[in-house]
Structure 1
């Protein structure tokens, strides 16, 4: 065996084999990287009092951000004499990040040539939404890939105006869209196109309370290709549209996002929107920010202006919170 081939691991789609020749005592050897799934891998052998075998993915951004969760069978087959075979108990759903995550210490002495054989039964990655990890080979990966492709082409239908059949008239411009997509995402749009309303007859929807940019962001969300910065820029307009057209997932996305960056410059506006659109978590967070954390005293001028125009019931709730906080001292 040549020096270069001594470190080479032969692979098929799920199987890796490393042939070791004449491993001397007190020896460490690391394989060349080999590809299984989305990752490059290494095997190492270290012969001291025992023989230690390690399997781990090569360090990369992919490994750090989405380490493999591996199920595999690993065995050592001695090719000398009676062909001794040592099999490690099956490893199931083990996350591998470093060379310390899987170590197999073999007490039985091995001499001469042997083969390290790794059969990968499954490789999974963690799901970004926190649900169960999904296999890169199984139905989960296929379904995710199918969904991503479908969303990409759906977005293309909007951006390239492919077979559009309805016009959205915003306050300062118009955008072409598709009735079927709008109706599938909003019961309000579905009702418009199902009954003899002017929107059905004229093939147009007037959304005069949204700018063309905000309306584009709204449609981009519906079609699944909104960019994060676009979403952040138009959150309040999107919240209004989500409430008006009964798109609950968009309303909740806006709600969660508005919770993340409350400050003295926006807390009063968000408190009013929380009341208007019935967002209980946002309302509670704004109240706590103003009262418990004492920020109401940092924005006295803005708060005085707020008192002149805000809903009377909301003003009463704020003062109830203030009185309750004072009683606590």
Structure 2
């Protein structure tokens, strides 16, 4: 009989005969109730985000109510700069750097124009759009471009989003470039993940296609990689030694 066949619930660890695979009836019902509660909370958060999101002037074909324009300056392009319209109040509320520009008696406040160097129009457009909607369509290049802007203008949420995207796609081919990039723009999580991947594959480092370029362009970073590797080896050796001592005592 089914009633006579007892199993142990993975949740409460009590024996049960009626229920679902791995879960007793009581825990199953409780899990379903929790699932419904979480779904309700998620729906409420989505509704709140939708309510707080603003209509981005980037996608508005009639941005006549905007009061500031951002001008990208991409030195790699000879084309005339396109401009990105925005609202001062939105920029100031999203970025302490923009707030300082627009609330103090600075040129940007007086002219209504903010020039941003070293950025493409597409990246600046995506950046401003994110300030309104908290959404961005990312690829590797756009994630890097937006992380640079997020670091420069102290938009922490965007920086974390871009860093998470790059970490999810981190592999050996990208490790050296990502490490150098993260080092330059203070992306600590990406920095640590890339460094761990490199130090786990030190026998392959000198053969990496970007290694020689890094040696010439930023030898200090190469030194830091080797220092991290040596430190890791020392810690591993110390851990093994301690483990062996504990085994002998036992």
Question: Normalised by the size of structure 1, how large is the TM-score?
Answer: 0.54
Alpha-carbon contact 1:289-1:295 (below 8 Å) kept: no
Alpha-carbon contact 1:185-1:222 (below 8 Å) kept: yes
Q: Which residue of 2 aligns with 1:322?
A: 229
Q: Tell me the alpha carbon deviations over residues 143-200 of structure 1, each in whole angstroms, 9 at most, x when there is no partner.
A: 642431441xx13444212511111101232111111100000011111111111101
Q: Which residue of 1 aligns with 2:17?
A: none
Change (3 A) 1:148 1:299: farther
Which one of the candidate residues 258, 269, 276 is aligned to 2:166? 258
Change (3 A) 1:145 1:300: closer
Aligned partner of residue 278 in structure 1, secondary structure: coil
Q: Which residue of 2 aligns with 1:283?
A: 191
Q: Does 1:173 align with 2:110?
A: no
Q: Which residue of 2 aligns with 1:205?
A: 114
Aligned partners of 1:280, 1:233: CA distance in 2, in Å?
A: 19
What displacement does 1:315 show? Answer: 2.0
Q: Does 1:134 align with 2:36?
A: no
What displacement does 1:286 show? Answer: 1.1
From the CA coordinates, give the structure whose radius of gyration is larger.
1
Q: Which residue of 2 aligns with 1:145?
A: 47
What displacement does 1:228 show? Answer: 3.1
What displacement does 1:241 show? Answer: 0.8
Structure 2 unaligned regions, length at least 5: 1-25, 74-80, 238-250
Aligned partners of 1:222, 1:237: CA distance in 2, in Å?
A: 15
Within-5 A mapping of 1:293-308: 293-294=201-202, 296-297=204-205, 299-308=207-216
Whichever structure has more helix as a proportion of its residues is 2
What displacement does 1:209 show? Answer: 1.3
Change (3 A) 1:233 1:318: closer
Aligned partners of 2:36, 2:145: CA distance in 1, in Å?
A: 39
Whichever structure has more strand as a proportion of its residues is 1
Q: Does 1:270 align with 2:178?
A: yes
RMSD (Å), alpha carbons: 3.0
Within-5 A mapping of 1:67-78: none
Q: Which residue of 1 aligns with 2:103?
A: 194
Q: Which runs of 4+ in 1 moved over 6 A?
A: none
Change (3 A) 1:146 1:292: closer
Structure 1 unaligned regions, length at least 5: 1-88, 97-121, 128-132
Which one of the candidate residues 130, 146, 165 is aligned to 1:221? 130
Aligned partner of residue 169 in structure 1, secondary structure: strand
Question: Normalised by the size of structure 2, how large is the TM-score?
Answer: 0.69
What is the count of residue pairs matched by the alignment? 201
Alpha-carbon contact 1:296-1:303 (below 8 Å) kept: no
Aligned partner of residue 217 in structure 1, secondary structure: helix
